[in-house]
Amino acid sequence: MELVKGHLLYLFLVFLRPIFGQLVTNVDGVLIGIKKHLTPIIEYQLEQDLIHGGEWPDKPSDLITWLLDSAKASGEECTLHNMAKCVVVFSFASTYLSAVAFTQALYELCKRPEYIQPLLDKAQSVMKNSGQVKWSKAAVGEMFKTNSFLCETQRYNGLGLVLLSRRVLQPFVFSDAQGTTLLPSMHLCINAWGNYRDDAYYHNPPAEVFDGFRFSQPTGDPESAQEDQPLQLLMATPTLEYNTFGYGRPACPGCFFAVAELKLMLGYMLTTYDFKFLPKWAKAKPQMV
C-alpha cells in the first residue's frame, strides 16, 4: 500500500517530494518491520557463506538466497537495508496484484454460481487424471476453463481504468501527420477499460456481457480428459488487446507463475470449501474490488 501511496508524490515538485514523502507514506516503518524479521535469516546465510563458500549443505532456494547471490555476483553491497527494499518491491509485485485478481474471481463466482460446478468438475478431473494426490504443473496446465474464467474476470473488472503507465524520459516525435510530440515527464497509459469493453475485440458475446468461458471451448469429446482447449489466449500470454501483464519486452516476467498461483488458489478453494454471498453483498461488491 505504501508503494501505491508513493505515486501521489508525482503531484509535487521534485525538491518537495522528500518532505511530503514522510507525511504521505510510512516506508521507513515498513522497512523497520521487515528488517526485524530478515536480520536473523540474512546473518545466518552470510555466516554459512563465509564457512562453506557459495554452496553449503541444505542451502535454501528462496527469494532471500537469490537476492544475496545476485548482489554478490554483481558486486553490490549485501546490506540489510538493501535487502529489505528488494523484499518490499517483490512483495508488492507478487502479492498485491494477485490478491486483487483472486478477490475479484471469488466475487464473480459468488455472483455467478452457475460457474462453480463446471470449474469444480474440471479441477477434480485434472487431479484424477494426473494420478497425483497433490497439485502438479501438468494438472494446472490443463485447467483451461479456470484460465478462461480468470481472463474474463480481469477483462470485465480489470486492475484499473488504465494500464502500463510509463513516464517519458526524453522527447519523442511520432511519425503521424500531426507530428505528435511527447515531452519529458509526460505519462503514457493504455486505455485498458476501453479495450476490454470494445465489441471490436470481444463480440461473441458482446463485450458488456460476462462470459466466464469466453476463452475456452469444448472439443466435443465428453470422455476426453482435456474437455476444453484454449480458444483465443492464455492469461499469461499478453496481446495488444489483452495486456493485464503488460506487453512486449517489458511484460511482467512473473506472469506465468502468477497465473499458476491463481489457478491453484481457485482450484483449492473450489475443492475445499462451499461459498456464497452474504445477503448484504448479494447485489453489489465494494467499489475497490
The pLDDT score that the predictor gives to residue 199 is: 94
Kindly report which listed range (6-15, 63-72, 241-250, 253-262) carries the lowest average pLDDT score. 6-15
Has residue 215 been placed in a domain? Answer: yes
State yes or no: pLDDT of 150 exceeds 60. yes
Kindly report which listed range (55-59, 97-101, 187-191) carries the lowest average pLDDT score. 55-59
Cβ proximity of 62 and 42 under 8 Å: no
The pLDDT score that the predictor gives to residue 133 is: 60
The pLDDT score that the predictor gives to residue 289 is: 54
d(CA 62, CA 156): 35
Has residue 152 been placed in a domain? Answer: yes
Has residue 24 been placed in a domain? Answer: no
Contact residues for 288 (Cβ-Cβ < 8 A; gap 6+)? none
Each residue's pLDDT tens digit, 162-218: 888 888 999 999 998 888 999 998 988 889 999 999 999 998 899 999 999 998 865
Strands (E), the chain: 163-167, 172-173, 181-182, 187-190, 216-218, 228-230
The pLDDT score that the predictor gives to residue 249 is: 82
Cβ proximity of 216 and 145 under 8 Å: yes
Has residue 48 been placed in a domain? Answer: no
- Nearest 5°: the CA angle 106, 108, 110 is 70
Mean pLDDT rounded to a whole number for the chain: 82
Give the range with max mean pLDDT: 127-141, 203-217, 244-258.
203-217
Model pTM score: 0.75
The pLDDT score that the predictor gives to residue 287 is: 58
The pLDDT score that the predictor gives to residue 7 is: 67
Has residue 207 been placed in a domain? Answer: yes
Number of structural domains (the chain) is 1
Has residue 40 been placed in a domain? Answer: no
Strand partners, 183: none
Q: What are 288's three cell numbers?
A: 475497490
Has residue 20 been placed in a domain? Answer: no
β-strand pairing of 181-182 with 228-230: unpaired
Structural domain including 171 reads 114-220+231-277
Kindly report which listed range (3-7, 67-71, 140-144, 181-185) carries the lowest average pLDDT score. 3-7
The pLDDT score that the predictor gives to residue 225 is: 37
State yes or no: pLDDT of 222 exceeds 50. no
Has residue 17 been placed in a domain? Answer: no
The pLDDT score that the predictor gives to residue 139 is: 82
The CATH number linked to 130 is 1.10.630.10
Kindly report which listed range (109-118, 235-244, 253-262, 273-282) carries the lowest average pLDDT score. 273-282
- In terms of pLDDT, which residue wins out, 25 or 50? 50
